[in-house]
Amino acid sequence: MEAWQTFAYIAASILFITGLKMLGRAETAKRGNRISAVGMLIAVVATLLAGGLDYTWIVLGLVLGGAVGALAARRVQMTGMPEMVALLNGSGGLASMLVGWAEYVRTDDLMAFSAVAIVLTVLIGGLAASGSVIAFGKLSGRLDGKPLLFSGQKVVNAGLLVIAVLAAALVVAHASGALAGGGALAFAVVLLVALALGVLAVLPIGGADMPIVVSLLNSYSGVAAAAAGFVIDNVVLIVAGSLVGASGLILTTIMCKAMNRSLANVLFGGFGATITAGTAQMEGEVKPLSPEDAYFILEAADSVVFVPGYGMAVAQAQHVVQELAQQLTKNGAEVRHAIHPVAGRMPGHMNVLLAEANVPYEQLVEPDDVNPTMETVDVAIVIGANDVVNPAAKEDPSSPLFGMPIIEVDRARTCFVLKRSMNPGFSGVDNALFLKDNTRMIFGDAKATITAMVAAFKEG
């Protein structure tokens, strides 16, 4: 590698680091993203100018991939953002896997260390790629969102992992000359097992755990890129890939904390399929309310908190929620949107939806901010959220949700729950909130319900 190229890669690394740091703060996020994009441009140009390259196929790939990426980024709906992120994770993992494969094919005398790096790149990249495809399928509803468990699943996974390690060892042994022959068969086994593991790892994970899976796959795609850096002896891949691996890991940890669960429990638990419902008896009765009657309560409210969940995304209700929020503000009420970190199907899902609907971000608050003031809230409106407001998380030690931080809407003066039916939430756990004295159930499509409330305000 020539000196100027090394300097270009160092510059790119600095820009990635600076950009990523700035991406973590609201004031600087936009600039951070652009700075990191400039870093990417420098790295790509430096690679293209290295000389000795036939550009024909490179340009084809750049044009094709650029068109697909730009089109997808422009056309995707904010409700479809989890699927988009899953696809991006998948394409990154796939690219790293193929880089490892291509290096394996075109290098005649592999050193043992490089062979190890290649095998790791293929394994992690392949896992991220196929896992993301399954995650995409679940997120987009093409696959059943429920955890898919079969007996002996753990044995199968463990068996595959053993096969992967053995095949990987064979690849390395062949490459380093300890065994004769090319080891191509062993390599093919590594490739296939990596893809199978990705599928089997994501299938048993339920829809409500998707925020964790998506951030974990994000982390894998970074680690795969770092591993590819070892394969082609390039520091910029290692630096950039590690940064992404670390940031994905941090997000994963935040998500796990917000659900009070360990990563191992998410990955192997098949939550919702294995638990038996809590033993505590539910007492009280359901008190339904019509949107028109709800209007009279809202009209008198001074403080209103919206608690959105995945149901708001499904009903595409974010725009009418903002309309109602504006009517309430006009009516003199203080309006806030309380967002639980794991509400929705990816980290930050609700924030993105509400931002699309022009909700100013000062109105978005986290559970820790809103819970201490809950007694002064006149109306809490729960839209398609369930587990993140289930009081059993605080009160019922036998509940599988026990210990999870929640938004304590049961302490608000009145709580509206917008829901299609009395079905329990994704976790399959009953919600005592629905039967509390200060809770009113408003059944039906959330969008239609809120539209009716807005109409009542406009007439009122």
Partner 1 sequence: MNPLLLFVFVLAIFLGLELITKVPSQLHTPLMSGSNAISGITIVGAIVAAGEGGLLATVLGTIAVTAATVNVIGGYLVTERMLGMFKRGKDA
Nearer to partner 1, 112 or 286 (CB): 112
89 SS3 class: helix
Catalytic-role residue among 209, 293, 368, 387: 387
Among 89, 130, 327, 414, binds partner 1 (CB under 8 A): 89
Nearer to partner 1, 148 or 214 (CB): 214
Q: Which of positions 250-279 make contact with partner 1 (CB under 8 A)?
A: 250-251, 254
Q: Which of positions 368-427 make contact with partner 1 (CB under 8 A)?
A: none
54 near partner 1, rule: CB under 8 A = yes
74 near partner 1, rule: CB under 8 A = yes
65 near partner 1, rule: CB under 8 A = yes
Among 240, 304, 392, 417, binds partner 1 (CB under 8 A): 240
Dist CA 303 CA 296 (whole Å):
14
Binding pattern to partner 1, positions 320-339, x when CB under 8 A? -------------------x
Two structure tokens written together for 89: 């994770």
**401 - beta bridge partners?**
none
> In one letter, which amino acid is 284?
G
Q: 275-278 long-range CB contacts below 8 Å, 24 or more apart?
A: 275/400, 275/427, 275/428, 275/429, 277/424, 277/428, 277/429, 277/430, 278/392, 278/396, 278/398, 278/399, 278/400, 278/429, 278/430
Two structure tokens written together for 244: 């992404």
Nearer to partner 1, 114 or 414 (CB): 114
Nearer to partner 1, 58 or 282 (CB): 58
What is the closest distance, in whole angstroms, from the C-beta atom of residue 55 to partner 1 in the complex?
Answer: 7
Nearer to partner 1, 44 or 166 (CB): 44
Nearer to partner 1, 11 or 156 (CB): 11
177 near partner 1, rule: CB under 8 A = no
Among 187, 230, 434, 457, binds partner 1 (CB under 8 A): 230
Listed ranges 23-31, 136-144, 387-395, 424-432: which one lies at the site for partner 1 (CB under 8 A): 23-31
What is the closest distance, in whole angstroms, from the C-beta atom of residue 426 to partner 1 in the complex?
Answer: 20
Among 144, 233, 395, 437, binds partner 1 (CB under 8 A): 233
Contact call for residues 389 and 433 (beta carbons, < 8 A) = yes
Tracing tokens 């990635």 back to the chain, one arrives at: 16
17 near partner 1, rule: CB under 8 A = yes
Among 139, 239, 335, 452, binds partner 1 (CB under 8 A): 239
Question: Taking each helix axis from N to C terminus, what angle separates 446-459 and 318-330, rounded to the nearest 10 degrees?
Answer: 30
Contact call for residues 83 and 75 (beta carbons, < 8 A) = no
Contact call for residues 195 and 134 (beta carbons, < 8 A) = no
From the DSSP assignment, how many helices (H) and strands (E) are in the chain?
A: 17, 6
> In one letter, which amino acid is 454?
V
Nearer to partner 1, 253 or 423 (CB): 253
Contact call for residues 429 and 275 (beta carbons, < 8 A) = yes
Active-site annotation holds for 387: yes
Q: Where are the beta strands (DSSP E) in 168-285?
A: none
Among 224, 298, 335, 401, binds partner 1 (CB under 8 A): 224
Tracing tokens 């959330």 back to the chain, one arrives at: 446
Dist CA 277 CA 407 (whole Å):
21
- Kindly report the number of other CB atoms within 10 A of residue 158's CB atom: 10
Listed ranges 36-44, 382-390, 410-418, 430-438: which one lies at the site for partner 1 (CB under 8 A): 36-44
> In one letter, which amino acid is 12?
A
> In one letter, which amino acid is 13?
S
Q: Which residues are catalytic?
A: 387
